[in-house]
Amino acid sequence: MSSTRVLLLGVLLDGPLHGYEVRRKLELWGADSWANVAYGSIYHGLSKMADEGLLEIIESGKGGKTVYGITQAGRDHFYFLLGEYWCDVKPIVDPFQVAVTFMDRMSEGRLLALMHERTQQLTATVGMMARARGGKQGFGAPRHVDESLDMIRSMLQVQLDWLEQAIPRVKDNDLP
């Protein structure tokens, strides 16, 4: 199961919002770099949870915006899910590892070229994230959302470190 529901419920804890405001808040938090919420899913998620009684429709804009608020059942469910997310070690989904899995399917030349290319991409991304740090508070984002971004940055650093030691190994035919 994805994290869409917790995110939607969590965003609504402080008061009713309509779909687009939810989206903005998630963007502000940088959720797109550590969660997987396609913005199209927001509207489905909201209306589904309203059906289930976790949310209620505050203002049904016929043709316009629909404002959703969280119900007590919704709050309860949120705290239940939150507890799970804290306790359970769920798998971290890293698309790069799919690439690594098939590193033996390419010629050494192509592999090394791609490894260098990725090193550059990663360095740029990590640098950008470091600079972006703290820039969101001005727009009302809580201070601790930066903690998530720091962790993501460290995880990208793990990829960088791996590349750094793997490149010489590939050259020495120690890998794959």
The site for DNA (CB under 7 A) is made up of 1-2, 4, 18-21, 23-24, 36-41, 43-45, 47-48, 61, 64-66
With tokens 């976790």, the residue in question is: 54
Interface with its own copies (CB under 8 A), residue from 58, 161, 168, 171: 161
The Cα-based distances of 63 to 17, 18, 46, 59, 70 in angstroms read 16, 13, 16, 12, 22
- Residues of span 92-111 touching its own copies by CB under 8 A: 92-106
Radius of gyration of the chain (CA): 21
With tokens 């050259």, the residue in question is: 171
Angle between helices 4-12 and 39-51 (to 10 degrees): 80
- Cβ distance to DNA smaller for residue 12 or 37: 37
Which positions lie near its own copies, rule CB under 8 A? 3, 6-7, 10, 13, 29, 31-36, 79, 82-83, 85-106, 114-115, 117-118, 121-122, 125, 142-145, 147-148, 150-152, 154-156, 158-159, 161-162, 166, 175-176
